[in-house]
Amino acid sequence: MESSMLWTGTVPGGATWSHVLKRGTALRMTDVEGSANVAAYFLNFDIPAERFNLPDTLKAQHTARLTKGHVLYSDMGRILCSITEDTVGWHDPLCGFSNNTQVEQKYGKASYQQVRNEWHQNARDGFLVELGKYGMGARDLHATVNFFSKVTVDRAGDLRYSANNSLPGSYVELRAEMNVLVLLNTCQHPLAPGSDYAPRPVELSISRVSPPRTNDPCRMHCSENTRGFMLTELFFL
Amino acid sequence: MATSVLQPSQLLPEDALHSFQVEAGDPFVFQVAKDQIVRIVDLEGNQAVDTLFYNAQDYADRYSAQDTIREQCNVYLTTGTRLISANGNVLLTITADTCGRHDTLGGACSTESNMVRYDLSKGHMHACRQSFMKGILEWGRGLEKRDIASNINFFMNVPITPDGGLTFENGVSDAGKYVELRAEMDVLMVISNCPQLNNPCNGYNPTPVQILIWDTNVQ
């Protein structure tokens, strides 16, 4: 895919970041140190009532994990982003994000007053503050994806967190299929073992990319995605 | 945790405070008081009952599938499952279950997702999110589309495989099977009795369900 780099930046561990990712650009997230976790939520910036819908994403593609070739569906049958590159192979769509109670129980309390920017942050508060900047709140926060993390489900339905899913330098790229308000949070995965508060940073870059062609791998992944792209393109007519 | 925990109930239908029949394709909205018991009966078998729950004091604090799954480390719902809200509260607990497995990852069908999943021409077929929207708009009190969050599909079978696959399978329910829940706080229950005709979640034949409500303090 032709691309030209427009911007690069770093998000430290435990932080929240948002950006309106324009149609025709792609966001690459790189796990600098390995074992990062990026909780992510997406809305149609032009009509924010339309937002990421996890069940529609999983059902359409018959999957309970996300990787290259998959797309992220809105609740309106349209595609917010396509996963165009992925060196990890498994991103967790099942487990949601951390909250204040969990972080305090697991890692102990560390307030801003005590430790300044080393304070123990949680993803829910991060998302709510960031959504607030766009005039939205708790009612607008629905299910999210955990990039770089893997949780498997056994035959009985039990969840198992897989350590070391993402190696240093791993990356995943999201191509925006509409103007997408992207919210990211780099707190640890809520099922990550251990009691050390050690959220990892991610590097971000935004590139201009060519629009999906008729033989685009995400479009051709399944007939559902072909129809999803048709409905997304209709939105821009 | 076992895949399913079959647990019949001792409650008698003739002692119920309320009994409602909900036709396929209809919404049903009801506020359940703390400690009341709700039974949902799959009258004819293999009927998906899409259900949303809200903390009745704060609708922003609503049922969350991801929090429920993660806190119990299991993707299926059965006897003993606590239904967790976005703020981490226990809204209800499943106290009896003669079906054994209920889904919370499959979401609710919509006219738009029907177009993606089946055919662009299916966009005019009835769907659960049409019923959810009708139900919450009629209930009023400020509820709107953004409040239609993750739901439970009672009696629906959506197995997840160890390699990360997800499929819609024929139901494991049968005529007369039921699930019972105890409200741990005052909750608003919003049901869409699923009208879907394009997949096996209703056995291609949507049918009515019965809702029974008991008051535990009059037993």
DSSP B127-192: -HHHHHHHHHHHH-TT--GGG----EEET----B-TTSBB-----S--TTEEEEEEESS-EEEEEE
Q: Are B209 and B43 in contact (CB under 8 A)?
A: yes
Across B47-54, average pLDDT: 97
Tell me how many residue pairs between chain A and chain B have CB atoms under 8 A apart: 133
Q: Does A63 touch chain B (CB under 8 A)?
A: yes
Confidence of residue B201 (pLDDT cuts 50, 70, 90): confident
pLDDT of residue A172 exceeding 80: yes
Q: Is the pLDDT of residue B218 over 60?
A: no
A65 touches chain B (CB under 8 A): yes
| Phi and psi angles of residue A84, each rounded to the nearest 5 degrees, phi first | -95, -20
Q: How far apart are CA B87 and CA B91, in angstroms?
A: 10
A50-66 as b/e: b if 16+ CB within 10 A: bbbbbbbbbbbbebbbb
User: Is some CB atom of chain A closer than 8 A to the CB atom of B142?
Assistant: no
Q: How confident is the model at residue B175 (pLDDT cuts 50, 70, 90)?
A: very high
pLDDT higher than 70, residue A2 = no
B162 and A153 within 8 Å at the Cβ level: the answer is yes
pLDDT, chain B, mean: 95
Report how far residue A27's alpha carbon sits from residue A73's, in angstroms, rounded to the nearest whole number: 17
Q: Average pLDDT of B211-218?
A: 86
Residue B66 has pLDDT above 80, yes or no: yes
pLDDT of residue A3: 67
Q: What is the pLDDT of residues A80-91, one digit of tens each?
A: 999 999 999 999
Say if CB A151 and CB A191 are below 8 A apart.
Answer: yes
Within an 8 Å CB–CB cutoff, is residue A162 touching chain B?
A: no
* B64 in A contact zone (CB under 8 Å): yes
Please list every residue in chain A whose beta carbon sits closer than 8 Å to the beta carbon of residue B115.
Answer: 77, 227, 231
Average pLDDT for B103-110: 97
Query: Where is pLDDT greater, at B28 or B202?
Result: B28
Please check whether residue A189 is in contact with residue A149, taking contact to mean a CB–CB distance below 8 angstroms: yes
Single-letter residue type at B218:
V
Provide the pairing of β-strand B187-193 with B49-55. antiparallel
Residues 26-45 of A with CB under 8 A from B: none
Facing B145 at nearest CB: one of A49, A90, A230 = A49
Percent of chain B at pLDDT exceeding 70: 97
Q: How far is B71 from chain A (nearest CA, A)?
A: 9
pLDDT at site B169: 81
Q: What is the DSSP string of B89-123?
A: -EEEEEEEESS--BBSSS----HHHHHHHT-GGGG
Task: Evaluate if residue A36 carries a pLDDT over 60.
Answer: yes
Chain B positions touching A155 (Cβ under 8 A) are: 3, 162
Measured CA to CA, the distance from residue B200 to residue B194 in angstroms comes to: 12
How buried is residue A127: exposed, middle or buried, by Cβ count under 10 Å (0-12/13-18/19+)? buried
**Rounded average pLDDT over A221-237:** 98
Which of B59, B79, B87, B113 to probe by mutation at the A interface, max A CB count within 10 Å?
A: B113
**Is pLDDT at B3 greater than 80 in this prediction?**
no
Give residue-wise pLDDT tens across range A178-199: 999 999 999 999 999 999 999 9
Q: How many CB atoms lie within 10 A of CB A220?
A: 15
pLDDT given for residue B1 in this prediction: 44
From CA B6, how far away is CA B67, in angstroms rounded? Answer: 23
Q: Could A157 and B74 be called an inter-chain contact, meaning their C-beta atoms sit closer than 8 Å?
A: yes
Rg (CA), chain B: 16
The stretch A205-216 carries a mean pLDDT of: 97
Three-state secondary structure call for residue A60:
helix
* A131: pLDDT strictly greater than 50: yes
pLDDT over 70 for what percent of chain A?
99
- What percent of chain B lies above the pLDDT cut of 90? 90
Q: What are the distances in angstroms from CA B135 to CA B25, B155, B211?
A: 11, 21, 16
For the cut 80, the answer to whether the pLDDT of residue B202 exceeds it is yes
Helix (H) or strand (E) holding B71: helix B65-72
Q: Which of A52, A76, A7 is nearest to A183 (CA)?
A: A52
Q: Could you tell me if A116 lies within 8 Å of chain B, comparing CB atoms?
A: no
Q: Which residues of B touch A154 (CB under 8 A)?
A: 162
